[in-house]
Amino acid sequence: MDQEQTTPDDLAQTLTDAVAAARDRAREDPFGNPVLLVALAISRQLDRGGLDLDQVSSLVRLLRDRAFAGRAAWLGMRIGTASRMTPLALSPGGWPGPIR
């Protein structure tokens, strides 16, 4: 993997593929742990120079942001959108109470 041409999205896809492969191997080996197998693959890439810590940091930020956006969308569907809420700082008397 070329360090200079690898984007966080490319790394995320590579990680997704590695997780899928680890899950397939875990089906054959009940003692195999997909998380440990992916961590080992990342560690080996770091050792070989295929990844550097900046790329891993970018990947972690990308995955964190995607997870946050997904969770926010899920919460928005479950409790409604922010347009129904009054920000605490703008509501007279502080906390507006439960949303009904």
Successive 10-residue mean pLDDT values, the chain, 100 residues: 68 84 76 78 89 88 87 81 51 46
Query: And the tokens for 6?
Result: 């690898």
Does the pTM exceed 0.95?
A: no
Predicted pLDDT of residue 89: 44
Whether residue 33 contacts residue 26, with contact meaning beta carbons closer than 8 Å, is answered with yes
Picking from 64, 53, 65, the residue whose alpha carbon sits closest to that of residue 3 is 53
How far does Cα 16 stand from its chain's mean position? 11
Half-sphere exposure of 11 (CA within 13 A, CB side): 25
The secondary structure of the chain in percent helix, strand, coil, rounded to multiples of 5, reads 70, 0, 30
